[in-house]
Structure 1
Amino acid sequence: MFSSKKDNALLAMIRTGQTMTGRQKLSLIVQLSIPSILAQLSSTLMFYIDASMVGSLGAQASAAIGLVESTTWLFGGLTSAAAMGFSVQAAHFIGANDFVKARQVFRQGLMATAVFTAILTSICLLIARPLPIWLGGGEDIVGEASLYFAVYAVSLPVYQIGMLASSMLKCSGNMRVPSIMSIMMCVLDVAFNFFLIFPSRTVAIGGTEIYMPGAGLGVAGAALGTVSAYLITGIILIWFAVYKSPELSLRREKWVFAPMWGYLRNAAKISLPMAAQYVMMNGAQIVSTMIVAPLGNFAIAAHTFAITAESLCYMPGYGIGEAATTLVGQSIGAGQRGLTQSFARMTIFMGMAVMAVMGLVMYIFAPEMIGVMTPVEEIRTLGVDALRIEAFAEPMFAAAIVGYSICLGAGDTLIPAGMNLASMWMIRLTLAAVLAPSYGLQGVWMAMAIELSFRGAIFLFRIFSGKWIKKVHVK
């Protein structure tokens, strides 16, 4: 069913200006979404497994990772913003059948993001020690939290270039290789964690006891396992994009080191609003963590576990969103305005339908989703309540996710970034600060559910008003 030849044939219809039937459009959306959803789910599963393995060490270890997790998302988001500034341009050129310019953009992206990530890594290492203290962590967790963040920082250079290669491949229509690498990353992370987190021990398998060596590094082992998985899969992604991709391969291209300012300016126009959004959105997540921190280690751990568990339910929305970015980007590059709008409507409704189902699953299986990650009853109770509150907001969360991805494919990032920021800072944090003292962690998650519903509504208005596509020149 999921054939790369079928994908390529349908994508070629976009690039050559052919009329597509509704069934062909739906087929292409599904063909591109499924690998992307699997990639998103496997990536989230990696964090889920990390949380469950560390959770077995107790609330203190879980709280140490939870304290700095929002900050790792911040820096990961900045690498994503840098990559998308170039890959969206590549999608437009590929849609216009101009592979020469797509490769030029790729080369410029490799050089620019290498410089950017060197700066980013230096900043991370400088703040690693004081960061947990700034976030309000207790003395019992700041040491492990600092170490976890420092190890994460070391992986950023390869993670950044791997992110660029992955987003370039996705925008070219190749969702399969990034998906396979995400699944591989998850498998490697489990394997590395198994040996690095726990000490040497005897494991019973099928009635036979087997000696299992282990480093016993605890929280640091979880960080090393994740970093090792990033490094291996990142290198493979870079190799495939540079040497094997039909649209992007630089193997026979003359390497030009001089900056090509037109591409760099366009990348900045796309990336800077995204980067500002990531800083402010993750800053909001950090403030949210600071609101939760006074509620105690149980609340911090439950908050972190609930976020991780919920991500298993909203990742399908991000998978459909990535397909929307590719399809909208290539349709705009091909000058097909009607097709662009059609893909926008179809993807946003598909995302809402899928995540409505996932919200129901999350509500029903909340005890099992939290229970896998921690044996501590107090954490489980708090986490289950949080997930069941959030379940009602999932369809509108999908509208926000896919709506933003549609705008991204069009290169329209400034106003959508402002929409995300205003919703997060003015509604979520304000409500969380008001509700947390009276309702505890439940109040924080009530604020989150209300804000996500509002954000989804304003993105639906923007997409169906058509204002996002008016910002783009089409043939």
Structure 2
Amino acid sequence: MDSLVNENSLGQKLKVIFALAIPAVVENFFQTIIGFVDILFISKLGLIEVTAVGITNAVLQVYFAIFMSLGVAANIYIARYIGAEDSENTRKIAQQSIILAVISGLILGLITLFFARDLLMLLGAEPEVLDAGEIYFKIVAIPSIVISLMFVLSSILRGTGDTKTPMKVSIWINLLNIVLDYVFIFGFYFIPALGLVGAGMATVIARLIGSLLLFYYLSKTKSIHSFRFIDWMPKLDIQKRLLIVGSPAAGERLVMRIGQVLYFGFVIQMGTNTFAAHTIAGNIEVFSYMIGYGLATAATTLVGQLLGAGQTDTAKDYAFLLTILSIGVMSLVGVILYFSGGWIGTFFTKDVEVLRQISIALKIDAFIQPILGAVIVLTGVFQGGGNTKIPMYITAIGIWVIRTGGVYLLGISLNLGIAGIWVAIGLDNLFRAVSLWYKYRRHQWIRKDLFNDKETRAN
């Protein structure tokens, strides 16, 4: 702990930040690249299979939001107790978080077992897609316990300040997933080609191995020490606190997803070319998120540990430095998008009109990048401070009112097309950045009751 937070010079602080952020960036990069490869293999099976995976992933995003919220809560508490050098409560929170991950994974697994087809029907899937999607969905989501454990175990390790182990495990299991994908989808020697079923099996095996590896490394972590049998008994008071802190984080993700559905409906009305251009531009932009989320991971961990150690002023220093750093780095990303976005689009399509619209979108997005950098890191700062509600409320207003309303007004009513869409996205992010900064300056990023005397002990 001391090596992380008792650094005074700018160079030392940057060293601490990069030590935490770079592994998270690398992990995000590999996950994004391997996601593309995964879809590439499945695309060889046909459009029905690609669509089946697409609608399954849309439902899984809700599952991910729930598991991520548990991870956020675990990260917050673990970082605080690490900062306070309270190894006993650190261990208790870790074990109770794992129990909660198992319970939530089992519940969602049972929901998938009995209602998989009904959930996919909500998305309006065609019958042939529905048949394939149901099979794939059941394979990957009935064992949801391995997904929940991946999220929570990684978050616990990050809370201790270890971002390298989740990165290493993520890289290895994703590379394993690619190999298993190829073998199970297309067949290899005595292994028959299993198609979409094989893709699902590969994903589950990789996640299972990942969960086992993360648990092994966590059990060896010095700051947690050995787990105690008595702490594997569910403690409802601790789990209640984890749910209260984590729920707004899940809410924010769900708010984003619902908002995307709302404004995507308006984008579709603008025509196939505009929708395709918007989708491709979004797929290109996603690479810029990797840097921001890496810095946000560092922000959540550092702020949580510093507040746990009672070093509020140092936490503010790191929060400000991380925000400025994110704005600066993502400004450079914006320059790249401005001058090469159109060229990058040629890897996705050769349609001249679509390419023109992609170029317009990414030129506008170039000016959004520094604003987005502030939004992502400040959200991480608020999470480190235990205040997960404010980002959720601000996100709801931003995406439901400003972005969705802006897309309709600018894109459809004023007939600005793709330019109107991305200006609306920029206005949404600007609103969120200003709102989060205002709340931060008013010291509303720290939830002061999170670690009062009554709650400090993880009984």
TM-score, structure 1 as length reference: 0.83
Distance change >3 Å, CA 45–CA 463, structure 1 → 2? farther
Q: Secondary structure at the match of 1:468?
A: coil
Distance change >3 Å, CA 58–CA 112, structure 1 → 2? closer
1:90 aligns with 2:78: yes
> Structure 1, residues 153-177: CA drift from partner, whole Å, max 9, x if none?
1342111112111111111011110
Once residues 437 and 374 of structure 2 are traced to their aligned partners in structure 1, the CA distance between those partners, rounded to angstroms, is: 6
The equivalent of 1:10 in structure 2 is 3
Q: Secondary structure at the match of 2:231?
A: coil
Which residue of 360, 364, 368 corresponds with 2:335? Answer: 360
Once residues 144 and 291 of structure 1 are traced to their aligned partners in structure 2, the CA distance between those partners, rounded to angstroms, is: 29
Cα RMSD (Å) of the superposition?
Answer: 3.3
Which residue of 373, 376, 396 corresponds with 1:398? Answer: 373
The equivalent of 1:233 in structure 2 is 210
The equivalent of 1:161 in structure 2 is 149
Alignment-mate amino acid for residue 335 of structure 1: G
The equivalent of 1:461 in structure 2 is 438
Greater displacement, 267-276 / 447-456: 447-456
The equivalent of 2:251 in structure 1 is 276
Once residues 126 and 381 of structure 1 are traced to their aligned partners in structure 2, the CA distance between those partners, rounded to angstroms, is: 46
> Structure 1, residues 421-458: CA drift from partner, whole Å, max 9, x if none?
11111112223344555566665444323312322222
Which residue of 298, 308, 312 corresponds with 1:333? Answer: 308
Alignment-mate amino acid for residue 455 of structure 1: R
Q: Secondary structure at the match of 1:335?
A: coil
Once residues 136 and 387 of structure 1 are traced to their aligned partners in structure 2, the CA distance between those partners, rounded to angstroms, is: 31
Distance change >3 Å, CA 247–CA 470, structure 1 → 2? closer
Do the aligned residues in 1 keep the contact of 2:322 with 2:377 (CA within 8 Å)? Answer: yes
> Per-residue deviation at 1:128?
3.1
The equivalent of 1:447 in structure 2 is 424
> Per-residue deviation at 1:262?
4.0
Once residues 335 and 44 of structure 1 are traced to their aligned partners in structure 2, the CA distance between those partners, rounded to angstroms, is: 37
Report the count of equivalent residues.
450
Which residue of 292, 297, 301 corresponds with 1:322? Answer: 297
Q: Secondary structure at the match of 2:230?
A: coil
Do the aligned residues in 2 keep the contact of 1:136 with 1:293 (CA within 8 Å)? Answer: no
Q: Secondary structure at the match of 2:387?
A: coil
The equivalent of 1:347 in structure 2 is 322
Once residues 371 and 229 of structure 1 are traced to their aligned partners in structure 2, the CA distance between those partners, rounded to angstroms, is: 33
Once residues 303 and 50 of structure 1 are traced to their aligned partners in structure 2, the CA distance between those partners, rounded to angstroms, is: 22
> Per-residue deviation at 1:142?
4.3
1:43 aligns with 2:31: yes
TM-score, structure 2 as length reference: 0.85
Q: Specify every segment of 5 or more residues in structure 1 that has no aligned partner in the other structure, as ranges.
A: 1-7, 201-210
Once residues 411 and 192 of structure 2 are traced to their aligned partners in structure 1, the CA distance between those partners, rounded to angstroms, is: 41
Distance change >3 Å, CA 229–CA 407, structure 1 → 2? same
Alignment-mate amino acid for residue 29 of structure 2: L
Once residues 440 and 297 of structure 2 are traced to their aligned partners in structure 1, the CA distance between those partners, rounded to angstroms, is: 16
Do the aligned residues in 2 keep the contact of 1:399 with 1:457 (CA within 8 Å)? Answer: no
Q: Specify every segment of 5 or more residues in structure 2 that has no aligned partner in the other structure, as ranges.
A: 453-459
Distance change >3 Å, CA 66–CA 407, structure 1 → 2? same
Alignment-mate amino acid for residue 44 of structure 1: T
The equivalent of 1:72 in structure 2 is 60
Once residues 270 and 278 of structure 2 are traced to their aligned partners in structure 1, the CA distance between those partners, rounded to angstroms, is: 10
Alignment-mate amino acid for residue 418 of structure 1: Y
Identity %: 26
Alignment-mate amino acid for residue 384 of structure 2: G
The equivalent of 2:457 in structure 1 is none
